[in-house]
Amino acid sequence: MVTADIRNLADEEVMQLVGDGDPRAFELFYDRHGGAAFSLAYRMVGDRVMAEDISQEAFLSIWRSRMRYDPARGSVRTWVLGIVHNRTIDALRRGAVHERRREQFDGIEERHEARERTDVEAARREEARSVRSALETLPAEQRRTIELAYFGGFSHSQIAELLDEPIGTIKGRMRLGLDKLRDQLADFAAGEFA
């Protein structure tokens, strides 16, 4: 069980203890970021068992590799979600999940929604709504291209094939969409949520 003396530590300090091999610090690290990590994997694969496997692999790789968190790369949460994203893309490209996702992509339903038990969870829901609102402001073709790439795990050439568009057009939409999203989220990114 996580004790009160470490519960108040900042993420960066918790990661130092995780790097030292402290299981209690690792548990706290999971408590803080495990939900977001699982949610991202689930959003991408649409399968709770596979999302659980990917999340477990990602957290174990962090536990076993030690000392790999670099504050210069952004917050601990951004770092963890980046690791989960990469592992989920690897899983999607390895397996047959893509075929199913290709058919399901427009109709993913979020089930088993997390309960808002704490202020932190409520803030994360608000944060999610803000980012989704920003995404909604993008032209539909840019938003769809970004979602197919980031959440669908499709490569630019696969997206070009799916949407029957030239690869150059797809690459352009990705870059323009991120550029516009950056403007929309400038204030948000400046005070990055913990």
Interacting residue with other proteins among 6, 35, 163, 165 (CB under 8 A): 35
CB 29 within 8 A of CB 73: no
One-letter amino acid at 128 equals A
Q: Which is nearer to other proteins, 99 or 187 (CB)?
A: 187
Q: Are 75 and 11 in contact (CB under 8 A)?
A: yes
Q: How far is the CB of 139 from other proteins (least distance, A)?
A: 14
- Helix (H), strand (E) at residue 42: helix 23-45
Q: How far apart are CA 37 and CA 43, in angstroms?
A: 10
Q: Which of 114, 139, 161, 194 binds other proteins (CB under 8 A)?
A: 114
User: Of 6, 27, 105, 163, which lies in the binding site for other proteins, with binding defined by CB under 8 A?
Assistant: 27
143 sits near other proteins (criterion: CB under 8 A):
no
Q: Which of residues 70-109 bind other proteins (CB under 8 A)?
A: 70-74, 78, 81-82, 84-86, 89-90
Q: How far is CA 17 from the centre of its chain?
A: 24
Tokens for 101, please give them: 């996702």
Q: Distance between CA atoms of 9 and 173, rounded to whole angstroms?
A: 41
Determine which residue in the list 110, 137, 139, 166 makes contact with other proteins, applying CB under 8 A. 110
Return the residue of 7, 100, 102, 175 that touches other proteins, per CB under 8 A.
175
Residue position matching structure tokens 């980031």 = 150
161 touches other proteins (CB under 8 A): no
- Type of residue numbered 23: P
| Given 6, 19, 162, 163, the residue binding other proteins (CB under 8 A) | 19
SS3 at position 51 = helix
Residue with tokens 């709504």: 129
Nearest approach, Cβ of residue 96 and other proteins (Å): 18
- Residue 7 in the binding site for other proteins (CB under 8 A): no
Q: Should residue 126 be labelled a site residue for other proteins when binding is judged by CB under 8 A?
A: no
Q: By CB under 8 A, tell whether 138 contacts other proteins.
A: no
